[in-house]
Homo-oligomer: A and B are copies of this chain.
Amino acid sequence: IMALRARALYDFNSENPGEVSVKENEILTLYSEQDIEGWFEGTNSKGERGLFPASYVEILRSDASSTLNNNSCNTSGDTYPDSRYQQHHPQQQPHTYQQPSPGSDDDWDDDWDDSSTVADEPGTVGGRYNDFEGNGPSTYRVSTSSMSRGNAQQAKSSATVSRNLNRFSTFVKSGGEAFVLGEASGFVKDGDKICVVMGQYGPEWQENPYPFTCTIDDPTKQTKFKGMKSYISYKLTPTHTQNQVNRRYKHFDWLYARLVEKFPVISVPHIPEKQATGRFEEDFISKRRKGLIWWMNHMTSHPVLARCDVFQHFLTCNSTDEKAWKQGKRKAEKDEMVGANFFLTISTPAAPLDFQEVESKIDGFKTFTKRMDDSTLQLNATVNEFARKQISGFKKEYQKVGMSFKVLSQAFEMDQQTYSAGLNQAISFTGDAYEAIGEYFAEQPSKDLDPIMDLLALYQGHLANYPDIIHVQKGALTKVKESQKHVEEGKMDRAQAEGINDRCNIISCATLAEIQHFHQIRVRDFKAQMQHYLQQQITFFQKITGKLEEALQKYDNA
């Protein structure tokens, strides 16, 4: 087999063990053209072996013309550091999540397309709430030319309603525009039907009639290719099958990309971030597993996501049956009911929604998400700092007090007085007690503050999703307004406008159902987490009290 070579596109300075530095234009030897979660393993021109970011290099093929595997990955060098609690600015997102990526596939078929690799725009993941109205109705332009929009549905309507010129608009990318304009088409099987029903608080997703959960256990290190490649395998056991399957992080990553592509107005929970080095350290594995558990909990809680084919395939396909796995994988990747077509699968309540009411609800939700985003960022920063203080400062203070008591008891032991022995021992024990209490403070955050931070990270992922969802909804409402104007001006017939109305109703039902779901799990999750936190805090302070009572008793006969 010919040595695989690549050219460095940029300088990369190794910052962690296992990484290797490369210089721009340096020729590198790769061990495989498949990256390991965004990193290549190879040798630089000095013969140093290690990892470097896949996106920093182009593979030199025999025809030396294309850069096939230049995947978008974690190239920022901003991997999660080992020290768990970092000082950071409140406005900084504490847990960075990955953009949905086409994934990497060193043992699967290499049949990705890079259609989901998109440029940043306000309103995409991580773009937060910085004025995503900028891409909204006011920037729409009337156009009669039919635009090529990448791989998506080609124009087939008579283009009497304006089309957005901005091909990076979420409304366009998501397929929302195409659907509203009636450009989506596909055969919806009965099994694909997704029902929005009218509930107590408005439209909501029909409940999953077969609810289930799924445990994630025993992350174990696996190797292949004579130990050259290692990965962590997690044991997943869904309650509805009771069959254990083994999945890797990259399977989660692949699944996540499918879900994001498929569901335009559903907030797919973010998977824990990628990390190249330190991947096999216990702390990291434990943290990732916790993140995956939170993710899984949100997946199985979601009436639509929990039931969708690709997720079920992921949960139930036997890991050893490679053929079945590949079949399901290909099927998912060829799923036609994604993006614009997803909306075709939605069945709505009989009575159409009042769009003014919808708009008002959406606006209210937008305000809410901004406030929640700000407050969770603040809480996260506070909690992070609080944890850091307990691990360092609080521990140190209590242990310094403990140490000083110990030193005093040692001085007292030199008093040559037999009658003070009891007191000296009691003071010494008190010193030990305060040292133990210092340790309690340092241990506590992992029991109560870490779960709070995990929760906040998950919800910050959701909150990062909502600008896009709201954008799609707002885009649809704008189309309705435009079509009404066109009808009034005689430029559009009523039937066409009614079609747009109906399709906007579908998007509105789905969006409001998703918002309703969000509130329900939010209330459930925050309640549970606050209770857990307080319970842990109570146990903590009781433990301290117990230790002090023990110390106090030592003085009884002193």
Which A residues fall within an 8 A CB radius of B?
A: 201, 361, 364-365, 367-368, 371-372, 374-376, 378-379, 382-383, 385-386, 389, 393-394, 397, 400-401, 403-405, 407-408, 410-412, 414-417, 419-420, 423, 426-427, 430, 519, 522-523, 526-527, 530-531, 534-535, 537-538, 541-542, 544-545, 548-549, 551-552, 555, 558
Q: Are A548 and B555 in contact, with the CB atoms below 8 A?
A: no
Give every chain B residue within 8 A of A397 (Cβ-Cβ).
385-386, 389
Give every chain B residue within 8 A of A522 (Cβ-Cβ).
415, 420
Pick from B383, B411, B530, B544: contact of A401, CB under 8 Å: B383
Q: Are A548 and B541 in contact, with the CB atoms below 8 A?
A: yes
This chain: copies in complex: 2
Q: Are B368 and A383 in contact, with the CB atoms below 8 A?
A: no
* Distance in angstroms between the alpha carbons of A106 and B344 in the assembled complex: 101
Say what secondary structure dominates the interface of chain A. helix
Q: Are B379 and A526 in contact, with the CB atoms below 8 A?
A: no
Closest 7 CB pairs of A and B: A371-B411, A375-B411, A382-B404, A379-B404, A534-B552, A375-B408, A541-B545
A292 to chain B, nearest CB (A): 25
Q: Are B394 and A379 in contact, with the CB atoms below 8 A?
A: no
* Distance in angstroms between the alpha carbons of A542 and B548 in the assembled complex: 11
Q: Are A426 and B552 in contact, with the CB atoms below 8 A?
A: no
Pick from B361, B383, B526: contact of A427, CB under 8 Å: B526
Q: Are A400 and B385 in contact, with the CB atoms below 8 A?
A: yes
Give every chain B residue within 8 A of A555 (Cβ-Cβ).
527, 530-531, 534
Give every chain B residue within 8 A of A549 (Cβ-Cβ).
538
Pick from B382, B385, B526, B542: contact of A423, CB under 8 Å: B526
Pick from B201, B389, B423: contact of A417, CB under 8 Å: B201
**Given known A523-B417, A531-B552, A555-B527, contact A401–B382 (CB-CB < 8 A):** yes
Nearest B residue (CB) for A542: B545
Nearest B residue (CB) for A361: B416
Give every chain B residue within 8 A of A530 (Cβ-Cβ).
423, 426-427, 430, 555
A113 to chain B, nearest CB (A): 39
